[in-house]
Chain A
């Protein structure tokens, strides 16, 4: 490929034009996403259907076992629900007696997912500044599982940096224990719970939630389950692989906390 002077000149001008798009990146991204979103919506929902079918085929043998386990878990959760309803009644009575206000819930804005950036832990969602989305809003699933934080807002769409990104770390706690640590992303949907002091308890199967020590995310949002604990008695801290409850192959929608 011999590059002539004319071709070099055209390339130089083209690169300058492309480089200048960085100054109006939001506008360029918004125009691009308005063209490509219908196609990406189609492919995202088609991908969901294919993924659901494939999972059904490959997990057919385990379905009976999984069903039995879910029935047991359902019964256990019903029992817990009854207990917690009783406790909530008592709590409300106490609040009334002491004149305390109940904590207010979140206001949520539903946003359809329509893509994920290749090689990056960034979700593309179909809500933008026109819908009231702001930079820094926290994204969760319908089951209050933490997904990430809005990092770029366009007029009709937004980008959510997932907590599995290597750029994300935040304080987390273990449900039912006084154990806390720093949770950080390892990329490709993987999470690592780190800096858990040796004197605190941590076991496989523990549920990891957000805590609000550093006020990075609202507290008590579900994150995942401890899969494997690493460390020894001579080390100062435990660390653990956490399997994230969020699975982008199954979920079409996130909720942004307003």
Chain B
């Protein structure tokens, strides 16, 4: 529970950094989507995927939905699908002993 809270807090912090800090340092207008990158990186760990995969998809998706002007729930759906597909792909074809 505490880990889940910390993960959500970290996503919120990254969202604020990508929305308020990085645009001022942007090179050629490019700002990386830190929430999405960290979501994908976390999914390299099988333990994280199994325990917090869907939770992180909903938390990160909600934050991205709030800072985008598009249909609310779009990012949640995308990240849930990504979480499911990553799990299917990584658990079948990829072994990451160092991270797990």
10 further A-B pairs in the complex, CB-CB below 8 A; given A32-B66, A122-B69: A1-B53, A1-B54, A1-B88, A44-B20, A44-B21, A115-B23, A116-B19, A151-B69, A152-B69, A249-B23
**Overall SS of chain B's interface:** helix
Interface string of B5-32 (1 = CB under 8 A from A): 0000000110111111111111011110
Question: What is the interface residue range for chain A against chain B?
Answer: 35 or more
- Check B25 against A47 for contact (C-beta < 8 Å): yes
Report if A18-B65 is in contact (Cβ < 8 Å); known contacts: A39-B16, A118-B18, A249-B25.
yes
Q: B residues bordering A, Cβ < 8 Å?
A: 12-13, 15-26, 28-31, 33, 49-50, 53-54, 58, 62, 64-69, 71-73, 76-77, 80, 83-84, 87-88, 91
Query: Complex Cα distance A164/B28, Å?
Result: 13
Interface string of A206-249 (1 = CB under 8 A from B): 00000000000000000000000000000000000000000011
B34 nearest CB neighbor, chain A only: A118
- Check B69 against A117 for contact (C-beta < 8 Å): yes
Report if A188-B20 is in contact (Cβ < 8 Å); known contacts: A36-B12, A119-B33.
no
- Check B19 against A1 for contact (C-beta < 8 Å): no
Chain B residues, CB < 8 A from A36: 12, 15-16
- Check B20 against A40 for contact (C-beta < 8 Å): yes
Task: Tell which of B22, B30, B76, B88 touches A47, judged by Cβ atoms closer than 8 Å.
Answer: B22
Q: A residues bordering B, Cβ < 8 Å?
A: 1, 3, 7, 11, 14-15, 18-19, 21-22, 25, 28-29, 32, 36, 39-44, 46-48, 50-51, 54, 114-120, 122, 124, 151-152, 159, 187-190, 248-249
Chain A residues, CB < 8 A from B91: 1
Chain B residues, CB < 8 A from A1: 49-50, 53-54, 83-84, 87-88, 91
The 10 A-B pairs at the shortest CB distance, nearest first, are namely A188-B29, A47-B24, A43-B20, A1-B87, A116-B23, A43-B21, A47-B21, A40-B20, A18-B73, A44-B20
